[in-house]
Amino acid sequence: MSDWRFCVAPMMDWTDRHCRYFLRLITRRARLYTEMVTAPALRHGDVARHLDFDPAEHPLALQLGGSDPAELAHAAKLGERWGYDEINLNCGCPSERVQTGSFGACLLAEPALVADCVKAMRDAVSLPVTVKHRIGLDASEDYGFVRDFVGTVGAAGCNVFVVHARNAVLKGLSPKENREVPPLRYEVVHRLKRDFPALAFVLNGGLGDWDAIERELGRLDGVMLGRAAYHDPYLLASVDWKVYGDERAALSRAEVLRALVPYAQAQRARGTPLRAIARHVLGLYHGRSGGRRFRQILSDSRRLANAGPELFYEAMAAVEPAALTA
């Protein structure tokens, strides 16, 4: 079974270490990804701040941004030293800030350079080196463009491609609009799998319900959920048994909160504000009666400024008071 059968996407400003720890309480098996970390930041910045994580987060991939093979090889070595399970190269982010650094989605137009980057990282580490990318640039829907990209990068030793099944529009659309406006074209990813059967393809983009997830798992090697998993994190409670056949019971929502409290206490002792953890928990009771009140309590800036992790219990009581004595 593919190690990439079910993944949670790298999301800037969202999938930090606190988010990942929280998600890991819900699913033991899903593969988690860091926010994108740029290779220059690891050469010139605070490495520990960028790379530290809790061992409970495994399996965990480090997503890197960059376009210099030597810098990326250095960053990959650091990732391996820190204990990550995978190095993933971002060739999909369409933001102008990323384009200024000559990486992200604009790298789709430079498959030979991406191949050099992949080879440099593969030579530097023993971890899997994977690539996350879009299916095209701007208005072009030429299948040959993405086919040749995958063929070139695959020949450099990349065996796993995480494919966001939309084009990236480099000018005129915001990153948010780039996640919504370009149409989803799953058939392109299906065709890539037919053309490159020895490679693994993980589908990203627009997945949010189990019917769609299971349909695509029948066609491809894996799926990756992004904002659906963030806004409704308890969706992940079904992953271990539906995808991996793990029959151990998932934690209930209340059990997840109870398990999060010791982590929050330890982080608070290190100077982490409660807000940094609580902001990732707001969707835990998505769609449930009392969920709105739960979100209000955990996003109240006045309470967050002074409260400790007991605020999680107060929020829980607003939704399911019986859980406090269970």
Residues acting as catalytic residues: 93
HEC letters along the chain: CCCCCEEECCCCCCCCHHHHHHHHHHCCCCEEECCCEEHHHHHHCCHHHHHCCCHHHCCEEEEEECCCHHHHHHHHHHHHHHCCCEEEEEECCCCHHHHHCCCHHHHHHCHHHHHHHHHHHHHHCCCCEEEEEEEEECCCCCHHHHHHHHHHHHHCCCCEEEEEEEEECCCCCCHHHHCCCCCCCHHHHHHHHHHCCCCEEEEECCCCCHHHHHHHHCCCCEEEECHHHHHCHHHHHHHHHHHHCCCCCCCCHHHHHHHHHHHHHHHHHCCCCHHHHHCCCCCCCCCCCCHHHHHHHHCCHHHHHHCCCHHHHHHHHHHCHHHHCC
